[in-house]
Amino acid sequence: MNLSLVDPFVLAQEYPDTLTEKLSSGHATCLSFNHKGDYLASGRVDGTVVIFDIETNGVARKLQGHTRQIQSLSWSRDGRYLLTSSQDWKCILWDLKDGSRIRTVRFEAPVYIAELHPFNHLLFVASLFEDQPVLVDVSSTKPIKRILPSAPLRPQAPDGEEVDPAVAAKQAAQDAKHSTCVTIFTAFGNHIIAGTSKGWINIIETQTCTTIHSMRLCNGVVILLRLASNGRDLLVNSSDRVIRTVLMPDLSQLGIDLEPSAIKLHVEHKFQDVVNRLSWNHVTFSSTGEFVTATTFMNPDIYVWERSHGSLVKILEGPREELGVVEWHPSRPMVVACGLETGCIYTWSIVSPQKWSALAPDFGEVEENVEYMEAEDEFDVHPAEQVHQRRLDQEDEEPDAVTLDLAKGDGDADGVEPFSLPVLMDIEDSDSGEDVVAVGPGTMRRRTPGAGREGVNGDTEKPAANGTSRGTTRSRRR
Amino acid sequence: MDRANPQPRRRDPRAQSPAESSSDELAAGSDHDEAERRRASWTLQKGFTPQRPQKTSRLYSESESPDELAVDADEYWRSSRMRNRRRTPSPITRPSVRDDLSQGRSDDPEDEVTGSDGNQASVADNWSDRSATPLAPPQPPKPEHLNYKEKFVMHGHLRGVSAVQFSPDCSMIASAGADAAVRVWDTASGRLIHVFEGHLAGISTLAWAPNGDWIATGSDDKTIRFWNVNTLKAHAKVFDGHHNYVYQIAFAPKGNILVSGSYDEAVFMWDVRRAQVMRSLPAHSDPVAGIDVVFDGTLIVSCALDGLIRIWDTHSGQCLRTLVMEDNPPATCVKFSPNGKYVLAWTLDGCIRMWSYVESRVLKTFQGHVNNKYSLSGCFGTYGPRDVIYNPPLCFAVSGSEDGSIIFWDIVSKQILQRLNGHKDAVLCVHTGTLRGKRMVVSCGADKTVRLWEEVNENDTGSDDDAFGRDVTPTPECHSRKSTPTHDADGDDAMTDVSAVPSTAANPAEDVTMT
């Protein structure tokens, strides 16, 4: 409702510029916004998952179940379910309505990344450390795991021709070396995009778990794949220090307009720092997909490129530590990133100055002095009653105070039943950033060694005094 | 606290229903006299620059008020009044002036009616006339009046009741007032469910959390407290931070943020989970009397006794718009419309104005009630048959009045749809709700009662032509009522089944046949 009043120049600004907030609750290592963008889930080193309320910057819920560092977080579309994966070889699906665990799935290896199907929260894909990626169906209590292929799709030999056994053996040996590092669903979930350690991108059909297309993108390991909100643009971070944006065909047309053989992935941009040869820790698209953001290795900066020309538009600065995971808010120009050293979550957004004309109705903001022209009747004195009556007589419109403007298609338009996270009145977030103290500019020290590795359930809460003092400083800073 | 504190000796005996006298005069055709008197009242009103009756009346309450908090705060306000050079009304002369004003003003809605219709007939005829003439052909005729009937009178509060609200599912009613207790009532039966006690001074405001589990109350003891309806326990954390009376509170739609306006001139946004102030809005230079949050939570509106209404961005905490009438009458309550496009603002010049805040413009002015002393509060609501689609949808604004009535206005025509009488003293708060398809209104007032009114199918009622809106004589109940006679008026907390006692509710004219 506020859009009609907000300064259009502020609205037109598409990327953030100022470090505005620092959230901390333990040592966060990964972040994820829900689709609506009002909650931010953060996974901690100690296996706790903390969900922040973006509106209050307070902790909305804590989930305890993992015993080691959280690797990835994935929200269901309605924001009710959260899938977490951890180095403790487990994935947990949480119901945020009451904070309960719906499913716990064990694997034979630590989990790199697990992602929920975009429409079915009981189906997810997980890429495992030095193991085959799996598609896991948890619709029943006993999870059904299906192993996904890692080997690239080789062109089929034409009929009738003999395949040279030596070549075949060599290929098989090569294929065996492929391992999948990252798997994500496409926008509709019909396909899975997998990135391998040899720099290949495989497109796997979810239904059949067979590879329908493969393409060699680079020489390095594919570290991360991200899909833009339009579902067609793919962002690839690989170990060759290049970030690529890849344009994909509309895979939902597969079998209708598009043959699997006709799939072509087209590299649009390659973002890299040729001077410093920086490598990139983590990458993300902006909410609209127009910008690409990356955190840099051994460097506290966040780079923002725009995609139309492929140029660097902004370097976000602020914290003095190297940053890990970076996420872009799903609708606002807001970037969050977590510090590798302190585990704090930094927030960049746009700070709009107070418009002074908003404070008094008869003020206007002008660029330069304006010659004031007095209206002919400006200082005519009318009887107050007459003025009042005239005013009343002019009130002849037919206002509609009930009907909502739903033209924008906010949230529920796509048929998702809205879920609202319950407001927990007894949540304590006092075990926050206090275990890391700044001892000088840019240097931090861990106050209690071994802290942040608490038991599964026994969350050692600090005394409430911590929380109060932190709260007052926060409110004072505003 | 003022509005929760009935002060009988401040009530002017002449402060009867103003519409009664004025419309009679209008009917008699004494146009000249009326205009004369009206002008006189306006010049008088102009002579006295905008006042703060809230503060002046507080001087009176000093002796009666049992709590010490009120006393030293009075001291504060007296001194603040001194340093405020503009406002020097004499509290003794004011009531008479206000009375003139209200009489002079109160016929404006009728003027409006005749003006918009070109119908110069008296108001008494107006109802029947209008009902006979349908509106534009494609639209079904709009109902000309509402038919709310008193269902329960809930006794139990020891002093004036300042705030009442339906729970989000309307199954319960919470009320609170000067006796510092929160009472929760069952909507269906009118019975008392629970009494929450804990505040150290009178309660001015209450709000249900959107999930219906909690009631938040703001009190003159400067705190906001939370009460759990399920466990019937108070929340361990007290929202402490205001330096003076908490005047009005409102929840953001998700329930994670509570906004409060206080006599200390601040607007606080509270993080409900942590019970801490999240952000303080540098709001006003006078006590903040009203506050509301728009349905999607992106905007906050606040109003203060200096007459300013400010619209705030929830996310950035910045003021986006300021609305003010030129002679800034003290603004005591603000409410967003259901679709968030408009703001309804109560001011102590006896008007309720509907602002389009985007255009900074008053769209409608509702008059006919008496409001020069208390912070009255009201609500939007919908009416009309559900199976007919109107464009725009039929919507009313409802407010209490200091003469003890509750008035419904159509927001398009500004015409009074119904005037409910029953309360014996000022009606301080009105809230609308729907339970099992029945539209209801709950009201509370300085007469220590909470009253529930239910919309009755018009075809059930007997006809009662000339009485609508002005009838103060008790009318015997002539229609079957769906009240549950489960409880006799025996205890202190008992509800009274009004079918047993002669009701003072007026019956509207019954000559419109509804589909």
Specify the pTM.
0.73
As a whole number of Å, the CA-based R_g of chain B is: 22
User: Is A1 within 8 Å of B294 when comparing Cβ atoms?
Assistant: yes
Amino acid at residue number A145: K
Contact list, A405 vs chain B (CB under 8 Å): 339
| Interchain CB contact of A406 with B (< 8 Å) | no
| Interchain CB contact of A418 with B (< 8 Å) | no
Structural domains of chain B ordered from first start: 8-124 (no CATH), 125-497 (2.130.10.10)
CA distance A369 to chain B (A): 23
| Interchain CB contact of A424 with B (< 8 Å) | yes
DSSP string, A108-157: SS-EEEEEE-SS-TTEEEEEETTS--EEEE-SSSS-EEEEPP-SPPPPPP
CA distance B105 to chain A (A): 9
Per-residue pLDDT of chain B (515 residues; tens, 9 = 90+): 444 444 444 444 444 444 444 444 444 444 555 555 555 444 444 434 444 444 333 333 333 444 444 444 444 454 544 444 444 344 333 333 334 433 434 344 444 333 334 344 343 444 444 444 544 456 677 778 888 888 889 999 999 999 999 999 999 999 999 999 999 999 999 899 999 999 999 999 999 999 899 999 999 999 999 999 999 989 988 999 899 999 999 999 999 999 999 999 999 999 998 888 988 988 788 899 999 999 988 999 999 998 899 999 998 888 888 998 888 899 999 999 998 889 999 999 889 999 998 888 888 899 999 888 888 999 999 888 877 788 778 889 999 999 999 999 998 888 899 998 989 999 999 999 998 888 999 999 999 999 999 988 765 544 443 333 333 333 333 333 333 333 433 444 444 444 433 333 333 333 333 33
Contact list, B38 vs chain A (CB under 8 Å): 385
Structural domains of chain A ordered from first start: 15-147+278-349 (2.130.10.10)
CA distance B500 to chain A (A): 37
Contact list, B106 vs chain A (CB under 8 Å): none
Select the residue from A398, A419, A425, A431 to test the B interface by mutation, using most B Cβ atoms within 10 A.
A425
Q: Three-state SS string across B85-121, please?
A: CCCCCCCCCHHHHHHHHHHHHHCHHHHHHHHHHCCCC
Torsion of CA A110, A113, A118, A119, to 10 degrees: 10
d(CA B365, CA B356): 12
Q: What's the pLDDT band for A205 if we cut at 50, 70, 90?
A: confident
Contact list, A421 vs chain B (CB under 8 Å): 254
Contact list, B254 vs chain A (CB under 8 Å): 38, 55, 420-421, 423
Select the residue from B226, B273, B357, B411 to test the A interface by mutation, using most A Cβ atoms within 10 A.
B273
CA distance A393 to chain B (A): 7
d(CA A44, CA A432): 11
Contact list, B257 vs chain A (CB under 8 Å): 55-56
| Interchain CB contact of A53 with B (< 8 Å) | yes
Nearest CA in chain A to B114: A393
How far from each other are the two terminal CA atoms of chain A, in whole angstroms? 24
Cα distances (Å, whole numbers) of residue B144 to A257, A296, B106, B288, B414: 60, 69, 20, 36, 12
Among candidate residues A263, A243, A245, A244, the one with its CA nearest the CA of residue A253: A263
User: Is B337 within 8 Å of A422 when comparing Cβ atoms?
Assistant: no
Among candidate residues B144, B230, B240, the one with its CA nearest the CA of residue B184: B230
d(CA A456, CA A464): 21
pLDDT digits (tens, 9 = 90+) for A86-114: 999 989 999 998 888 998 999 988 888 99
Question: Do residues A292 and A285 touch, judged by C-beta distance below 8 A?
Answer: yes
